[in-house]
A and B are shown apart, each in its own frame.
Chain A
Amino acid sequence: MSVALSVKNLTCGYGGEDVIDGISFDVNGGESLSVSGKNGCGKTTLLRCICGIIPKKSGEILIDGKNTDELKPNERARLAAMFSQTSASETVGAYTVRDTVLMGRFCHKSGIFSSITQEDISIAEDCMRRTGALSLADKYINELSGGQLQRVLLARTFAQQPKLILLDEPANHIDLSGLPELISMIREWTEDGGAAVGVFHDLNLCAAASDRLILMDSGKIAADGSCKEVLKSKILSDIYGFDVQAYMRKIAEIWR
C-alpha cells in the first residue's frame, strides 16, 4: 500500500508555544489510525496542522506523496478533508443539507465560471446515502439534531473525495445507537483504500475504529503500535497517571 500521509519531524503551535514538538509518523492508504492522549496533548492541533488550518513551524507533511508546502488550499483539500465538531448555531444562516454537502465539491471547482455539475450532485447524493443523510437532503441544517448534523458534515467530508480523512472526535454528538454505524463508515472508507486519522478521547472507540493507535503526551508521540500493544503497555498508566487497565477491567466486569 502506498503511503497516504507522511509526517516528518513536525513542530507547530499557537503563538510562541510549540504544541506539537517534532513528531514523525506515516499512515498508509487503507489504514485507520487513532490518536489519543490527555487534554492539551496536541491531538487536535496535529489534525489542524496536517489540514493546513494552522501553519507548521518546521518539519514536513506529505499527503499522497505531495509536500503540502507546494499545494494551494484547494489542492490540499482534494487530498485531505477534515471533519470537526461544530454546531449549526455557529453558522450565520440556513443552508439545506444538499447545499452543505455540495460545499465539499468546492475544492474540485477551479476557475471562476466552473459550476456545480450533475456529477457533483450525484457524488454528493452518494455520500449522503453512505452516511444516512439522504433523507434529510431538503432540510435546513439548523433544523437538525446534533447527530443528524454529524452525518451531514461527514457526508461533506466524503464529498471532497480525498485520499485522507481527518476526524476530530467524530463520535461527540452521536448517541450509542449511532456508534456502530459511525465505526463501520470509517472502516468502509479504509476498506475502499482511503486513509483515516481519528482523534478520540475514548480508548474503546480507538480500538473499535482502528487497528493502530498513537498515544500522545505533551506534543510528542509516547507510543505507536497496534491498538492491542499500546492499550496493554505500561505507558498508558504512566500517561494518565493511574492504572488504566485495572480500571477498564473493573468496568468490563459489569458487562459479563
Chain B
Amino acid sequence: MKKLGNTKPAAVITTVVITVISVLFGISAGSVSIPVSEIISAAGVRLFGQPLPEGMSPTTVNIIMDIRTPRVLLAFLTGAALSASGAVVQSALRNPLGSPYTLGVSSGASLGAALVIASGASFFGGFTVAAAGLAFAVVTMFITVGFSSKIDKGFESSTVVLTGMVISLFANALVNLVANLSGDKYALIFKWQTGSFSGRGWTACGILSAVLLICMAVYLRYSRELDLLSFGDEQAASMGIDPAKTRRILMIVMSLLTGTSVAFAGVIGFVDLIAPQIVRRIFGAKHSLSIPMSALVGGAFTVICDIAARTVTAPSELPAGTVTALIGAPFFAYVFFKRRRRA
C-alpha cells in the first residue's frame, strides 16, 4: 500500500468536492435539465425571500425545491447513514461482509413495511409504513443481539453474523409470505423493498438528518474503541475495553440509524458494503477519519445511482436499490476478490 501521510488532506478535500458536485448534479439532472445557477437562485428565492430572477419560472423553483432537492438530499442522507453504519459494523464484527443488511436490519424493516402495506393499517398517516419499518428494524436488531448474547456470552462476531443471516433469511421468507397472501398489494410491497427516494419530501430529510447527526456523534465517540476492536476481542480487551459491551451499544445505535433510513427509502443494498471498503483503501483504517469519509463517499455514490435510476430509462424509473446493487455488486466483487488474490 502506498504511503498516504501527506496526501490525506488532499484526498479529504477531493472527496468533499466530489460530494458537493454529485449533489448539485443530482438536482440539475432529470427530465428537465436545470443549470446550477438556477439551483442557487431557487434556494435564494425560497430560503432568503430573494426576488425571482428574470426568465426563471416559479415552476422551476418548485421543481428544484420541492421535488429534486429533497430527493437528492434523502439519497445522500440514506447513503451516508448506511455507509457509516457499514464501516462501524465491519470493524465491530471484524468481518468485511458485515453490514446492516447481513445483520437482518433491512429485512426486519421490510417485514414491518410489508405488514403495514398488506393490512392497510394507518396509525401515523403517511408515515405509518416508515414507522413500522423503523420499529421492526430495531426489534430485529434486538432479537439478533439478544439471541447471539444468549448462545454466546462473549458476543463473538461470528455468532452475531451467523445469527443475523439466519434472522435475515427468516424475515425475508416472512416478507414473501405476506406479499403472496396480500393479493393486489404484492406490487406495492415489492416496490418498497427495492428502494426509492422519490416523493418523500422534506420531513423525511429532516428526521433522517437529525438521527444521522446524533448517531454519527456516537460512532465518532467510539472511533478509538473501534480501532482497538479491529485487532480482535482478545487484544481489544487487554488494551482496556469491554468488547461485548462496546459491540452491543454500537449495534443498537446502528439499528436505529439504518432502521430510520430504510424506513424512508426502502432497501438500498451494497452501498454499506462498498463505501467503507473503498474508504479504508484510500484513507487507511483509522475510524475517526474512515467513518465520516464513508458517509460522504456512500452518500455521493447513492446520489449518483439515483441519478442513473431516474434518467437511464426515462421517463420511467428504475428502483434506486436495484441500481446500487447493479453497480455495487460487480464493483464489490472486483475490489474484494482482487485483494484476496493478492493475499
Contacts and interface: CB of A to CB of B under 8 A. Distances in A.
Nearest to B279: A93
Given A51-B238, A76-B240, A91 B286 contact: no
Given A92-B94, A93-B280, A93-B284, A74 B237 contact: no
Interface stretch (A18-26, A28-36, A138-146, A170-178): A138-146
A48 B234 contact: yes
B241 interface: yes
Contacts of B224: 103, 106, 109
A106 B231 contact: no
Contacts of B227: 95, 99, 103
B151 to A, nearest CB: 11
Given A48-B234, A107-B240, A93 B290 contact: yes
A86 interface: yes
A112 interface: yes
A135 interface: no
A106 B240 CA distance: 7
Interface string A165-185: 010000000000000000000
B1 A77 contact: no
A94 B284 CA distance: 5
A77 B230 contact: no
Interface string A147-175: 00000000010001000001000000000
Contact of A81 (B228, B232, B238): B238
Given A53-B233, A86-B231, A138-B5, A94 B241 contact: no
Contact of A143 (B1, B94, B233, B241): B1
Interface string B1-30: 101010000000000000000000000000
Interface string B225-248: 101101111110111111000000
Given A93-B284, A93-B290, A74 B94 contact: no
A77 B238 contact: yes
Interface in B265-298: 280, 284-286, 290
A135 to B, nearest CB: 14
Contacts of B94: 90-92
Given A94-B280, A138-B3, A138-B5, A77 B285 contact: no
Contacts of A95: 227, 230, 284-286
Nearest to A96: B284
A106 to B, nearest CB: 5
